[in-house]
Each structure stands twice: as C-alpha cells, then as structure tokens.
Chains A and B, each alone.
Chain A
Amino acid sequence: MRAVIRRHLLVITAVLLGTLGGCATPPLADDRDAVADFNETDDPLEPTNRVIYAFNNGLDTVILRPAAQAYRFLIPPPVRGGIHNVLSNLATPVQLSNDMLEGKPRRAGDTTMRFVINTTVGVLGVFDLAKDWGYPDHDADFGMTLALWGLPSGPFLFLPVFGPSDPRDAVGLGVNVAMDPFTWVGQGAAVRALDWSRFAINGLDQRERRLDDIDSVKKTALDPYATFRSLYRQNRQAKIEDARNDRRATIPVWFPQLGTRDTVTYSPSTSPDY
C-alpha cells in the first residue's frame, strides 16, 4: 500500500513540477512557420522538461545504465529472456483489464490464452510458447485505453525517473499501478520486498532491452531531448493505432472468418508528407 502511495506521489509531484515550473515562450504570432513549429512540438513546458531530462540522464548515467550493462554482462541471454517472460506474465491482470476497457475482445482473448498457456506449459511464464502457438503479445495500458476513449494526449511531459510521458500517460501510469492486484494483495515486509524487487528487476529488464538504442540516439542526435520526445510520441501513437486497427471479429474459429487483422503500425497521421 505504501508502495502505491509513494509511486503515486512521484507522478503527482512530476505533474506539479511541470505546471509550476518554467514555460516556453511562444513565438510571435506573425512568424507563421515558427508558430506552426511551436504547436507541432506541443511542448509548452520544455524548459522544465529539459531540467528533468538532465536529472534523469544523470541518474541513468551513474546508476541505471551501468546496472543494465552489468545485468547484460552477468546474466546469459536465455535467462534474461526467461526473466522478461515471467515479468510480462505477471503483468497479465493489467494488460487484460485494459484489453477489455479498450473494447478489444480478441486482444483480451489473446492475453488470456497467453496467460493460461505460459503459466502452465510455459512453467510459470518462463517460456513464451503462446507466441509460437498463434497468440502474440501486444501492448495494453491505461494510457492507451484513455487514448482509445478519445482523450487527447496533452502536452509533452518529462517525468522524474519514469522519463518521457504526457498527462494522459502519467494518469495511465497511476491507474495501471492501482489496477495491479499485486499492489493490493498481502501485507508485511516480505510482500513489500517482493513488490519492490519486481519493480527493480522490471526496470533493469526494460533498460537492458534499450541499451543499444538509447546509446545510439545519444551518440547520433544533435538534440537528444528532442529526439527522445519525437520517438516517444511516434511509438505511443503507433501502439494506439495498432490497437485501434485490431478489428478482428469475435466469430468462432469453425465459422468462415470475415474479420482480418490489420497490424500495420505505420500511420499517415504521424508522417503527413507521404
């Protein structure tokens, strides 16, 4: 319980910091190109966001990145893969709830089958057999759910520790924690320790999977902050469109299938110039 409150506090502090902190100066109205750029960037809190980015970057450089490198060095790939699978299996309740809230029954079905197969035949989630048996993984979180309900993302936000976000995803982050049964079951030091271990290992796992890509952005971008901002938004948008375009119908397998699945993540809305 205390863990929940503490994680919630982090998010709330982040939002407050954003609102109370510095704001970017909008360009003069007669410079039409500059105004268009400003609106497209949609980052009115950029000065504050950049401070938090610098803070996170420092934290990453001294703690998270070396830890993720050590994790990659010490743990052999198959074991890391198994750990990742177990973590993602433990996240099933949040994923399933959001599949249903999104109104995507076939995705909810995939998630359920994945849980059933991987928890049993896959030995408590260590092996992702469901993927090869026709139930691939997909993303679902409350930020995506809100997006599918029609809520706009709001301006860009950089959260302490959690990194790139926006008000919609920041709220989603809090709700995801509240949706997670592990947040509510059990009490006592042992459960709390397990809860935090899962949180920490999850952080290591996620950071390790992005080691090469983040290094590469920092090495090649002229403005890494702006590049991460762009990448985060495009990636989120693609996941949302992926869920939106998953229009598989709920008809039985023995009936001639009418629905086809459209999994193309490429969306013209994010790249207007094609």
Chain B
Amino acid sequence: MPNRRTFLVLTAASLLPAAGRLVRPAPAQPVDGRASAFVKNIGDKLVAVVNGPESEREKRAKLTAIIDGAVDVDGVARFCLGRFWRNASGEQQQRYTELFHQVLVNNITSKLGEYRGVRFTMGRAQQRDDNMVVSTVVERPNNPPTNVDWIISNFAGDPKIIDVIAEGTSLRLTQRQDYASYLSHNNNNIDALINAMRQQVAQAG
C-alpha cells in the first residue's frame, strides 16, 4: 500500500511542472514575428546585394537605399555625438549628420569584398525595454561565425534599426566612444571632428 501511495505522489510531483506550463500565458507571438520578419527581409536584401553580380557602384546605390529605408540614421548619428550634440550649432548638427550618413554607407560598402559569400541564420526575438532584439548568426567566408543582435525600435509601426550588437559590442556605442576620444584630443572642437569625417569620406572616394 505505501508503495502505491509513494508512486502516486511521485507521479503527481513530476506532472506538476508540466501542468504549470499549460496555464502559462502564450508569448506575444505576432509582435516577435513582425520584428523577425523585418530583420529577415533586410538581411535577405543585403545578402542579395553583397553576393549579387552588379558593379561596386550599383551595389553602393542599392545599399544606400536599403540603409535609408531600414536604419534610423539621424537618430544613430545624434546618439554617436553624445553630449556634444547639445553644444553643436544647428548648422554643425546638419553638416555632421550628412557626413555621418556618408561615413556609414562607406563603412558598409568598404566591407563588400570581405562579406562576399555571406550567410545568416535567424535566431529568436525578444522585447527589451521599448525595443525588439532580434538575434542572428552571420557567417562570412574565412571568419568565425558571429552572433549579431539587431535592435529594432518602433517595431509595431514603422520599424527601424537603431543598433547592431556584434559579439556583445554595440556598433553605435563603439562609434560614440571613438568620436568622444577624438574630440577630447582635439579640444572638444566639433569642427575638427567634422573635418576628420570629411577627410574620411574624401579618402573613400
């Protein structure tokens, strides 16, 4: 008799967690799905351009269009200037934002050769604060697979990429610290930064 009771108790105990899982509310699948679909769509477009047969010039034009549509470039630019954004004049802000746009496109197009043959696999999506974090794994030839998280803002309405986290490193935070260091070694002079960015753009052609 005690044996059967023990058996019953054990069975009940092992079933409890399973029962708990049944009543747990289902996750908000539609929203996750939308952010993932957005990243998948952008990723597919980028891969198609990078691995496509067009000339470098045509690829550049296509990439610019994709970036303009999918990335909150103005917001990222403002973030990267940090506290210096407030001190900048309206005219400086405008020139900086335009240059930032060109630098971003140049940085991406300069990697075209390195990324040829790129593939990516989708991971999970989860909400973090007001944003959606969509995880992917990017595989480039000659390079170890990289964990890349895409931070999507406003994913319910008009979604935009506001940051890319590669192996735990935020692209926009790294860029902000690069600019901050450059500024601190140039008397916090925003015109010096703007000139340096102009040179970068000129060098890239």
Tell me the A residues contacting B by CB distance below 8 Å. 33-34, 37, 41, 72, 77, 209, 211-213, 216, 219-223, 225-227, 229-231, 234-235, 237-239, 241-242, 255-256, 258, 264-268, 270-271, 273-274
Closest to B176 in A: A230
A239 near B168 (CB under 8 angstroms)? Answer: yes
Closest 4 CB pairs of A and B: A238-B168, A226-B181, A230-B177, A234-B169
Interface segment out of the listed B33-41, B61-69, B142-150: B142-150
Closest to A254 in B: B14
Distance from A114 Cβ to chain B, minimum over Cβ atoms (Å): 16
Q: Does B133 make an interface contact (CB < 8 A)?
A: yes
Closest to A273 in B: B79
A221 near B178 (CB under 8 angstroms)? Answer: yes
Q: Does B17 make an interface contact (CB < 8 A)?
A: yes
With beta carbons under 8 angstroms apart, the residue of A235, A264, A271 that contacts B126 is A264
With beta carbons under 8 angstroms apart, the residue of A223, A237, A270 that contacts B178 is A223
Q: Does B4 make an interface contact (CB < 8 A)?
A: no
Distance from A27 Cβ to chain B, minimum over Cβ atoms (Å): 9
Tell me the B residues contacting A by CB distance below 8 Å. 14, 17-18, 21, 79, 83, 103, 107, 110-111, 114, 126, 128-131, 133, 135, 140-144, 147, 149, 151, 163, 165, 167-170, 173-174, 177-182, 184-185, 188, 193, 196-197, 200
B182 near A226 (CB under 8 angstroms)? Answer: yes
Distance from B7 Cβ to chain A, minimum over Cβ atoms (Å): 16
Q: How far is the CA of A255 from the CA of B177 in the complex (A)?
A: 48
With beta carbons under 8 angstroms apart, the residue of B21, B167, B168, B174 that contacts A227 is B174
With a CB–CB cut-off of 8 A, which chain B residues contact A266?
128, 133, 149, 151, 165, 168
A230 near B173 (CB under 8 angstroms)? Answer: yes
B184 near A209 (CB under 8 angstroms)? Answer: no
Q: How far is the CA of A39 from the CA of B177 in the complex (A)?
A: 13
